[in-house]
Structure 1
Amino acid sequence: MPPKQKGKGKKKGKKKKDDAELTIEDKYKKTIHEIEALKDHLANRKELARRSQVHSEEWKGRMHSAEEALVQQKVDQRDVTSDMTRQYKTMQTEMSMRIHQLEAELGKVKVQLERTQVELKETKAEKEKITEEKNQKISELETKIDGMELAYEGVLHDALDNMVAKLDLAKNRWKNEATVIHAENKQRLLEFGLNPIDL
């Protein structure tokens, strides 16, 4: 900001003076004004410099914090990368072991499958043989059962006929006994003066 110079304006009732015609006192006043203006200018410059210094310190602090954060981020990234590499190697080793184990198990299962297929084939042949023998035996038994059914049917008819005859005989006997008992009970009730019809 350029210094303000005072006393150069026009005053009412006075003529403009040239620099060459200025008196010592005017030159002194002019110099004093210039010095004051320079002081003001210097004070403004100092304030700007102070503010710039404050901003500079603030930005230095921010830059320092950013550098520390960047360094920490690099450390963290290196740690993460190292941990991921370790985990990857561990996982790769475990996968290799698992693959080897599965391949061994697959070999065992294949052998067992072949053995089972052979056993299944033998079992099917044996089952067919047993089924054929059973069918033949069933056929023989059915023939025997048919003959036995006819024989038992005759025996059963005879037994039932005998049972019906015995039941008829027993029925008649019980009927006679019941009539006698009934008559005796009626007689006793009459002896006690009771009418069986009232009961």
Structure 2
Amino acid sequence: MGPKKKGKKDKGGGETDGMKLGEVDQLKKLQMDALAMEVQRNFDTEVKSSAEATARQMKLRMSDVNRLYEEEKTNTYEITRDMTRQYKDMQETLVSKINQLEGTIQELKDELETNRATFQQKLRAKEKVIGDQEEEIKDMKSKMEGMAAEFGDMLKKTLDKMKERIELNSANFEEQSVPINKRLEEFNLKD
């Protein structure tokens, strides 16, 4: 075998860098190691506690986020459903109103056509009445002109006869030469 190496020996060997430790030193070293392990364990425990607390906080936060997400999802669904319902109601209302207005338009068109037909019929009847009245007026004018001509002829004949009588009476009047005053008195007495 070769030469032995000098160096650190395990906890059980008690040698460090070629020096032998005494039992007191070994005890101190073990206490220090125990203290270091205790500190390490406390540190690990603290880290673990901190990590667990953070994990719990993260889980709570995740739970809150999930809850908020689900609430938002539900709210979004409810709003979407409500808006869809409102949209469909509005669409149905508008379609109904459009149909109603189209019906009203058709009724008004029909009524307009009926009124136009009635108007045309009344216009034709009025034109016929006017035509008949104009024809009647023409006939009456023609009759009046005929009657006026007849009346004129009669008047002319009457005037001619009166003229003849006046001339005759005038000739007789001169022959009789009766005073006019006497004749007037006789005339007044007769009345």
Identify the match of residue 178 of structure 2 among 147, 150, 163: 147
1: CA distance, partners of 2:185 / 2:57: 167
RMSD: 3.5
Q: 1:96 corresponds to which residue?
A: 124
Long gaps (5+) in structure 2:
1-49, 187-191
Identify the match of residue 57 of structure 1 among 45, 62, 85: 85
Is it true that 1:66 corresponds to 2:94 in the alignment?
yes
> Considering only CA atoms, is the larger Rg found in Structure 1 or Structure 2?
2
Q: Which 4+ runs in 1 deviate beyond 6 A? A: 152-155
- Aligned residue identity for 1:129: K
Distance 1:62 1:114, change over 3 A: same
Query: Deviation of residue 87 (structure 1)?
Result: 2.0
Query: Deviation of residue 76 (structure 1)?
Result: 1.5
Is it true that 1:110 corresponds to 2:138 in the alignment?
yes
Long gaps (5+) in structure 1:
1-21, 156-199
SS of 1:34 mapped into structure 2: helix
Query: Deviation of residue 43 (structure 1)?
Result: 0.8
- Aligned residue identity for 1:113: K
Q: Which structure 2 residues correspond to residues 68-87 of structure 1 after superposition, within 5 A?
A: 68-87=96-115
Identity of aligned residues (%): 6
Q: 1:129 corresponds to which residue?
A: 157
Q: Which has the higher contact order (CA 8 A, sep 6+)?
A: 1
Query: Deviation of residue 86 (structure 1)?
Result: 1.5
- TM-score normalized by structure 1? 0.52
- TM-score normalized by structure 2? 0.54
Is it true that 1:29 corresponds to 2:57 in the alignment?
yes
Query: Deviation of residue 28 (structure 1)?
Result: 4.2
- Aligned residue identity for 2:139: V
Query: Deviation of residue 60 (structure 1)?
Result: 2.5
1: CA distance, partners of 2:147 / 2:184: 48
1: CA distance, partners of 2:64 / 2:183: 152
Query: Deviation of residue 58 (structure 1)?
Result: 2.8
Which stretch of structure 1 is more off in the superposition, 117-126 or 43-52? 43-52
Q: What is the total number of aligned residue pairs between the two structures?
A: 134
Query: Deviation of residue 23 (structure 1)?
Result: 3.0
Structure 1, residues 165-198: CA drift from partner, whole Å, max 9, x if none? Answer: xxxxxxxxxxxxxxxxxxxxxxxxxxxxxxxxxx
Is it true that 1:120 corresponds to 2:148 in the alignment?
yes
Distance 1:134 1:44, change over 3 A: same
SS of 1:23 mapped into structure 2: helix
- Aligned residue identity for 2:178: G
Query: Deviation of residue 153 (structure 1)?
Result: 9.1
